[in-house]
A and B are shown apart, each in its own frame.
Chain A
């Protein structure tokens, strides 16, 4: 068990390092010059040169990479060109907003997805199953930027029930949460449904019924525990990526002051250090969640625990 966890942690560290390297080079291979973007139109060539020197952009790429690694080891991920503050600080100032929205979407999608999935599997072809299938199809196929705009149009502009942008009251959460949850709900519904159907058909479920175990326990204790294993991967593993990925789109649409919108602004402003720390941070989140999944697996599945 300890060996298992140690191995996972090593793999996680290596993954983060690899992503950091790729991110560093990809951003520097781009054609746009960040210095040109930062300078005011009436700046002199001397100003440009000073700025280039200040950020170390005049040195060869490999030296820049060496410096980057040195700084990262000290916890310095570069300075935002735009705000002239440490990139990490800029990111963390905006992070709570994203986290709150992400958690709201997380709970909505997990509870909705699991309920729909389990109920659909328990009673296939029932009304709930049909509804679930329709919702899953919609959630899978409708892009969140379109859903977001339609929500704003319908609930915000036509009905005027909900605020269309910004953050403050609980009402502000409704539309972005809905918009962000639709795809994960679809995914979790489909996955938990098929996984539950398999489990309910299995011999160990029949055996539980033979023993006279009440149906509720058959479903939750015997079937769901087994069915949960593949679903957990999605819930935690994919979720980090999904949440942050869709945060970029959803936060932009609803003017949510989180890191998703920050990265869009930074990207347009060629503020590389901020975009860079965003990607590294997302990697860190996804890798950590996967690490948690691996450990949760071991907890649920004794076959892994006893390896």
Chain B
């Protein structure tokens, strides 16, 4: 187990709730995990399981006024972000702590040039040295956008999908952040471009030694660049494991299901395995384990109470009654 000093980020029992007219929704429920320095952690789960809200909680940018982080600690560089003022947070964002949103086409302001948007992390953190235009061009060159000198004056709609995603990554890494959260950075891209983008992120990480949280629902992406995996289901982390352990020896039945539903090249199967049923409605969470209704290993206990987190081996834990010895 790594010590506190090696952690760049540690979430302790973070709960983020949305107060809606239909009722309260705990989008992120009692989530704890840590990210080491220089580590790439994959956060996987189905759509709507709370991955994006988790990342917005870390940025303290949960949509207001409906959403609120109601409890927990978010330790970034051993300082609790929950105690920071809005102005202190603004200084961290885009500088030490950064994020890339999932759809580059809507994440960029269509009315401002790419260069203008790329320059913002420099301008608003007083990092402009020499020519701002030159810095933006260097940044585009870094993410391998061809002809950066002319491209810097283009508008986002003149960029292709892959180039937009690169430009967005460039905005995220402008100030070499300590932590970069990438929210499904490859979802909007086709496979070849996605691979290039992932390779690029890996390269940049090698240069800057940033930590990355990669949010995705695609296990193949995780396998390509992550060192550790967090599996999220219905607002909770159900398993945390190093990448090799996760693929060889998944503990939580949900993780097992996820891995089995990935097609493997060269292995022919009648029908690809899938997890039957639907995730629970956020308004009506089951009392016990949230996965129990869909789990083929579920027994009586699973429907009664939520299972505690069990440490299986170093750095591998799961929240499942199967591993609770009484």
Chain A interface residues (CB < 8 Å from chain B): 124-125, 201-204, 206-215, 217, 221-222, 225-226, 300-303, 306
Contact = CB atoms under 8 A, between A and B. Distances in A.
Nearest to B158: A306
B101 A206 contact: yes
Contact of A226 (B90, B109, B172): B109
B155 interface: yes
B107 interface: yes
B92 A212 contact: yes
9 contacts: A204-B109, A211-B171, A212-B125, A213-B94, A214-B90, A215-B90, A222-B112, A302-B110, A302-B111
Given A206-B101, A302-B157, A303-B157, A211 B94 contact: yes
Contacts of A221: 112
Given A210-B94, A303-B110, 10 more contacts: A202-B106, A204-B108, A207-B171, A210-B61, A212-B93, A213-B120, A221-B112, A226-B109, A301-B111, A302-B111
Given A124-B65, A207-B101, A306-B158, A225 B111 contact: yes
Contact of B63 (A201, A204, A211, A214): A201
A222 B110 CA distance: 9
A213 B124 CA distance: 6
A230 to B, nearest CB: 13
B191 to A, nearest CB: 23
B59 interface: yes
A212 B109 contact: no
Contacts of A208: 109, 120
Interface of B: 56, 59, 61, 63, 65, 86, 90-95, 98-99, 101, 103, 106-112, 120-121, 124-125, 155, 157-158, 168, 171-172, 174
A213 B86 CA distance: 12
Identify the interface centre among B91, B103, B110, B120: most chain A CB within 10 Å of its CB: B120
Given A211-B171, A225-B111, A301-B111, A203 B106 contact: yes
Contact of A207 (B91, B108, B157, B174): B108
Given A212-B124, A212-B125, A303 B109 contact: no
A214 B124 contact: yes
Identify the interface centre among A212, A214, A301: most chain B CB within 10 Å of its CB: A212
A199 to B, nearest CB: 10
A208 B117 CA distance: 8
A210 B90 CA distance: 8
Nearest to A229: B111
Contacts of B111: 225-226, 300-302
B169 to A, nearest CB: 12
B188 to A, nearest CB: 12
B108 A212 contact: no
